[in-house]
């Protein structure tokens, strides 16, 4: 008897994100006003647009945090109308804060997030190494890290908890030039390891060189694709 | 992963943070100790102190609870960790149980030390027949305090001015615990001729309170931290 098809591997080229005429309200106002976007596996998509254009809301819709009022949406094969709870554990949303515990070491932070999904010690070590926060740095309390090291630790937490879609809101903010280079390298490494990334950024030159595709978000709509 | 396993992970993480930061040892315990010493100075009468010792111990516990709850949620808010847990789809009930468990364990240690301090500072005596009641009172009062503290700590964490909001929310809610635990400890110590058997109905009240707030808090915590 054949095994039942695994829905996650049935269609390898199935889009990771697929929104069609998506409308999302923040209070009475439509922060997304009919956005349509498709993100395929392995892409790094840059969302660009002015403040208040709807970039952050688009990320939060994809993370299953903001419900759709109208339109259709699927993330990692899950319907955003009926399966938002199933989306959250597989998506990593990194905003302006890193979600780290300052009194815990880098390793303890990554281990905590990994343990929530049953990650093994080897997986934790691999996550630390992949984001270049292993070795002696792993034993340093998070509060003693530089901004770039904190960012990379937060990304290691996403790796440890096996997030497949990374939604990054201004990931380069607060980093110096070296930190930005290192962040870009780690993001490329993450994609090479199977992640898909959507980045909202105002730093167009930096994020643009990283992205495989750029999308304009204007007044809650996805206007153009470069 | 089961709710309890996630709750244990959260509790272990909170206790590791406490062990590393030593806030209970370096700040909460001295704060509670100073509070009890000040009570002693303010009342300045051995007879009165012995009479009111149970109430003073639980008042010191309540004040310490506020500091512990503030701390428990400050570590979550400092770098957006509570938001990150929510975003990652971690079951709010597990977060509630985990943080409550960690808080309860810290409170138990604190209560034991404060009761010992009451014996030294206020001359309180613990008769042998009162020991079981004393321990049971602590074990039943603590989950109720932890349940209320965690629930309102999570609620206040989302507001500006959370430091002043938390006492306003918590202190009225834990008044039944203060009354019940004080009466039960009075019975355990035989204060003013109270019999040990008089304390057990109060233990019943503390148990009902802990169950009610435990169940209510488990259900309400998710919606409260979600907004």
Strand partners, A79: A74
Per-residue pLDDT reduced to its tens digit, B210-223? 999 999 999 999 88
Contact B87 A65 (CB under 8 A): yes
Contact B79 A101 (CB under 8 A): yes
Contact B75 A92 (CB under 8 A): no
Any idea what the CATH number is for the domain that residue A187 is in? 3.40.50.300
Percent of chain B with pLDDT over 70: 99
Per-residue pLDDT reduced to its tens digit, A69-90? 999 999 999 999 988 888 888 8
Contact A161 B88 (CB under 8 A): yes
Contact A116 B90 (CB under 8 A): yes
Strand partners, A213: A45
Q: What mean pLDDT value characterizes chain A?
A: 86
> Nearest chain B Cα to A84, which residue?
B89
In a domain, A11, yes or no: no
Interface of B with A in 88-107 (CB under 8 A): 88-90
Tell me: pLDDT of B12 over 90.
Answer: yes
In a domain, A12, yes or no: no
Contact A103 B75 (CB under 8 A): yes
Optimal mutation site among B9, B12, B74, B89, interface A, most CBs of chain A within 10 A: B89
d(CA B170, CA A64): 32
SS (H, E, C) B74-143: HHHHCCCHHHHHHHCCCCHHHHHHHHHHHHHHHHHHHHHHHHHHHHHHHCCCCCHHHHHHHHHHHHHHHH
Beta-carbon pairs below 8 A across chains A and B: 65
* B22 touches A at CB < 8 Å: no
Distance from CA of B88 to the nearest CA of A (A): 5
Percent of chain A with pLDDT over 90: 38
Contact A89 B88 (CB under 8 A): yes
Contact A99 B80 (CB under 8 A): yes
Distance from CA of B92 to the nearest CA of A (A): 12
Q: Which residues in chain A have Cβ-Cβ distances shorter than 8 Å to B85?
A: 99
In a domain, A145, yes or no: no
User: Tokens 């959370």 belong to which residue?
Assistant: B162
Q: Which residues in chain B have Cβ-Cβ distances shorter than 8 Å to A109?
A: none
Contact A113 B88 (CB under 8 A): yes
> Helix (H, G, I), strand (E, B), or coil: what is residue A174?
coil
Q: Which pLDDT belongs to residue A10?
A: 44
Per-residue pLDDT reduced to its tens digit, A132-184? 888 999 999 999 998 888 988 998 998 898 889 999 998 887 777 877 887 88
Number of Cβ within 10 Å of residue A81's Cβ equals 14
Tell me: pLDDT of A1 over 80.
Answer: no
> Helix (H, G, I), strand (E, B), or coil: what is residue B163?
helix
Contact B83 A63 (CB under 8 A): no
Contact A102 B75 (CB under 8 A): yes
- ipTM for this model: 0.85
pLDDT bin (cut points 50, 70, 90) of residue A226 is low
The dihedral sign for the CA sequence B173, B179, B182, B183? negative
CA-based nearest residue to A37, from A8, A7, A80: A80
Per-residue pLDDT reduced to its tens digit, B21-60? 888 888 888 988 898 888 888 887 777 888 888 999 999 9
Continuous segment of H or E residues that includes residue B30:
helix B29-43
Optimal mutation site among A87, A102, A139, interface B, most CBs of chain B within 10 A: A102
pLDDT bin (cut points 50, 70, 90) of residue A125 is very high
In a domain, A107, yes or no: no
Q: Where are the domains of chain B?
A: 3-226
Distance from CA of A123 to the nearest CA of B (A): 17
Q: Which pLDDT belongs to residue A224?
A: 65
> Helix (H, G, I), strand (E, B), or coil: what is residue B158?
coil
Q: Which pLDDT belongs to residue A188?
A: 87
Number of folded domains in chain A? 1
In terms of residue numbers, what domain contains A43?
17-99+161-225
Per-residue pLDDT reduced to its tens digit, B160-180? 777 788 999 999 999 999 999
> Nearest chain B Cα to A163, which residue?
B88
On whether the CB atoms of residues B141 and B177 are closer than 8 A, the answer is yes
Q: Which pLDDT belongs to residue A11?
A: 45
Tell me: pLDDT of A3 over 60.
Answer: no
> Nearest chain B Cα to A87, which residue?
B89
Q: Which residues in chain B have Cβ-Cβ distances shorter than 8 Å to A88?
A: 87-89
**Integer angstrom CA distances of residue A48 from A204, B11, B62, B91:** 7, 40, 51, 33
Continuous segment of H or E residues that includes residue A216:
strand A213-218
Q: Which pLDDT belongs to residue A9?
A: 44
């Amino acid at each position: 008897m054949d095994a039942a098809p695994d829905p996650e591997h049935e269609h390898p080229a199935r889009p990771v994100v697929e929104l069609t005429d998506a409308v999302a309200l923040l209070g009475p106002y439509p922060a997304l006003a009919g956005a349509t976007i498709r993100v395929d596996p392995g892409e790094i998509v840059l969302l660009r647009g002015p403040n208040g254009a709807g970039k952050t809301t688009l990320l939060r819709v994809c993370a299953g945090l903001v419900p759709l009022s109208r339109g259709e949406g699927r993330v990692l094969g899950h319907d955003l109308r009926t399966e938002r709870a199933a989306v959250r554990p597989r998506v990593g949303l990194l905003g302006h804060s890193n979600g780290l515990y300052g009194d815990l070491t880098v390793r303890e932070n990554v281990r905590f997030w990994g343990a929530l999904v049953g990650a093994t010690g080897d997986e934790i070590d691999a996550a630390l190494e992949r984001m270049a926060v292993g070795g002696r740095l792993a034993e340093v309390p998070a509060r003693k890290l530089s901004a770039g090291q904190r960012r990379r630790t937060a990304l290691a937490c996403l790796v440890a908890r096996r997030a497949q879609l990374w939604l990054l809101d201004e990931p380069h903010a607060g980093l110096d030039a070296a930190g930005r280079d290192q962040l870009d390298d780690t993001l490329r490494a993450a994609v090479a390891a199977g992640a898909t990334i959507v980045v909202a950024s105002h730093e167009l030159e930096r994020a643009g060189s990283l992205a495989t595709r750029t999308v304009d978000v204007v007044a809650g709509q996805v206007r153009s694709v470069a | 992963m089961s709710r309890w396993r996630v709750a244990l992970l959260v509790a272990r993480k909170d206790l590791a943070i406490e062990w590393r930061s030593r806030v209970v040892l370096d700040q909460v315990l001295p704060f509670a100790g100073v509070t009890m010493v000040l009570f002693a100075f303010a009342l300045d009468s051995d007879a009165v102190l012995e009479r009111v010792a149970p109430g003073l111990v639980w008042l010191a516990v309540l004040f310490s609870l506020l500091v512990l709850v503030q701390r428990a949620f400050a570590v979550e808010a400092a770098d957006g960790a509570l938001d990150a847990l929510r975003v990652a789809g971690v079951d709010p009930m597990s977060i509630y149980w985990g943080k409550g468990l960690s808080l309860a364990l810290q409170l138990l240690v604190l209560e034991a030390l404060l009761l010992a301090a009451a014996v030294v500072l206020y001359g309180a005596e613990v008769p042998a027949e009162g020991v079981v009641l004393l321990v049971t009172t602590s074990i039943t009062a603590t989950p109720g305090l932890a349940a209320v503290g965690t629930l309102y700590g999570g609620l206040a964490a989302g507001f500006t001015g959370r430091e002043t909001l938390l006492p306003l929310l918590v202190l009225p809610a834990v008044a039944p615990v203060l009354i019940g635990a004080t009466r039960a400890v009075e019975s355990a110590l035989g204060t003013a001729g109270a019999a040990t058997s008089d304390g057990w109905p109060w233990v019943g009240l503390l148990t009902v309170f802990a169950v009610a707030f435990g169940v209510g808090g488990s259900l309400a915590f998710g919606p409260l931290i979600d907004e």
